[in-house]
Amino acid sequence: MSGTRRPAGDLIDAVLHNMRTNLEVLKYTTVAPSRYTVYVSPGEHTRLEGIIPRLQAETIRALNEELDRLNRPAGLRRRVIRLFRRKRPPLQNADTQWHVEFLPDVDGELQDEHDVVVHSDLILPPEPELGGGERTRRITTVHVGHRTTTRAQTSNPAALSSVVYARIVYEDATGRHRYDVVRDSTTIGRGGVTYPVDIRIITSEDVSREHARIRRDPRTGTFHLIDLSSLGTTLNGRHVPRGFDEVDGAKRENGAESALPDRARIGLAETVFLDFERVL
């Protein structure tokens, strides 16, 4: 695509695709995320800077029109719904208004000036078996040429606390670091625009952008390690099972995790090692 210009309308289509991917069906409504963050290359952002207010306005208009379209199924879908007496609850914006931002990729994570990344965050109702509290599901759609990949991540922001549950000490290319674990989900990796992480490791590409996650069970206080990497994660020298499957180009966690003892050494692709110690 080098030398060609991506139409600004493609960015609107990317937001609509993300919205359709991050719907949540409740009992009486189906909700769509209200907030979208779109990352483009610095060059593209500079080119579009003068029309970004208009781009935001047209994206919001397109989101409203898409809600109307999805709430009015086409003839064939309408007949199928009548036949099986099954209808999805009406689709609504999860908030009172849409929030759309277009930002430059200042870290240079996008591989091509025409690549586009869209984040959306949707607040989900609590799951009683996970100890209550609202959760946030982040859907990231990455548009590279004619290929789109999707990544989903669910976290519990309500778990953020001033209480330190555990400490992690590690050394990467920038020196020695200590990280206090104060929430129920901690993601580790090289990170980037398309891979937000809590502990960003500065090292070689052997360590994945999103390499592993540490999950704390709020009911029991126990910790669990989830491998999300390409080259593997070790726990006290032994490889843990991969915690995701590839489904239609999307990375979907499969529930596989390993119990973390109170003290443990976590290896990322046998390149960087983190010393974990439970405090509470």
Q: pLDDT, tens digit, for every residue of 5-58? A: 789 999 999 999 999 999 999 889 999 999 999 999 999 999 999 999 999 999
Which is nearest to 211 in space by CA: 162, 125, 274, 169? 274
Q: pLDDT, tens digit, for every residue of 234-263? A: 999 999 999 999 887 777 889 999 999 999
Q: pLDDT, tens digit, for every residue of 106-156? A: 777 787 888 999 999 888 876 654 445 567 888 999 998 888 989 887 776
pLDDT for the residue 131: 47
- CB contact at 8 A, 41 and 99: no
Structural domains of the chain, with CATH: 9-156 (3.30.2320), 160-278 (2.60.200.20)
DSSP strand pairing (30-32 vs 91-93): parallel
Average pLDDT over residues 200-216: 93
Distance of alpha carbon 37 from alpha carbon 55, whole angstroms? 13
3-state SS, residue 12: helix
Tokens 């064939």 belong to residue: 76
More confident residue, 202 or 236: 236
pLDDT for the residue 151: 85
Distance of alpha carbon 34 from alpha carbon 212, whole angstroms? 28
Average pLDDT over residues 209-217: 95
- CB contact at 8 A, 203 and 228: no
Give me 184's structure tokens.
């129920």
Distance of alpha carbon 42 from alpha carbon 9, whole angstroms? 18
Angle 52-71/9-21 helices, nearest 10 degrees?
Answer: 40
Element (H, E) at 232: none
Cα 34 to Cα 23, 93, 100, 119, distances in angstroms: 11, 6, 8, 11
- pTM of the entire structure? 0.66
Cα 20 to Cα 5, 206, 277, distances in angstroms: 26, 33, 41
The rounded radius of gyration (Å) of the Cα atoms in the chain is: 21
pLDDT for the residue 45: 94
Lowest mean pLDDT among 101-105, 155-159, 163-167: 155-159
Kindly give the residue spans of alpha helices, DSSP state H, lying in 22-74: 42-48, 52-71
pLDDT at 269 over 60: yes
User: What is the residue type of 110?
Assistant: L
Cα 147 to Cα 11, 88, 143, 215, 259, distances in angstroms: 14, 29, 6, 31, 36
pLDDT for the residue 130: 44
Mean pLDDT of the chain: 87
